[in-house]
Amino acid sequence: MQLSEWPTAFTEEWKLVRNQEQEEVYSFFGGVRDQITGGHTTLQYIGRLMEGELPSDPEEVRDLYQQAHQLAGLLYSSTVGLQTRLDLAIQEYHTPQHNVHLHLMNDYAAADD
């Protein structure tokens, strides 16, 4: 799946999962949370990579910077879009019977920040 498709794919999958058993919903939330964590980790890696030794040719440096910038922008917007949709789905799923387990998802989300 393309990065740009993450948020849309989430919306489509959530439509199918939202009425399933609680364990399946939480498994879905956990998988999406892992995907978001992976996106943030990759963005951090790109930032650290750009702090390293660069080629001496200015044209190569410009090209590398442009590619990294484009990738980081796409990854950031996809990750944030996915995070927003997950947050909305968790709020939508929040009912008194699910309350005890939702605080665990919120604790898990806070650990990623």
- pLDDT of 113 reads 47
Provide mean pLDDT across the span 21-26: 90
pLDDT surpassing 80 at residue 108: no
Range of the domain at 8: 3-112
- pLDDT of 3 reads 81
Q: What percent of the chain has pLDDT over 90?
A: 31
CA distance 51 to 4: 26
pLDDT surpassing 50 at residue 100: no
Task: Give me the number of domains the chain comprises.
Answer: 1
Which letter, b or e, does each residue of 14-30 get, where b requires 16 or more Cβ atoms within 10 Å of its Cβ?
Answer: beebeeeeeeebbebbe
Q: What percent of the chain has pLDDT over 70?
A: 82
Judge if pTM exceeds 0.75.
no
Average pLDDT score, the chain: 81
**Residue in the structure block whose two tokens are 């964590």:** 37
pLDDT surpassing 70 at residue 10: yes
How many CA atoms, within 13 angstroms, populate the side-chain half-sphere of residue 63?
6
- pLDDT of 27 reads 92
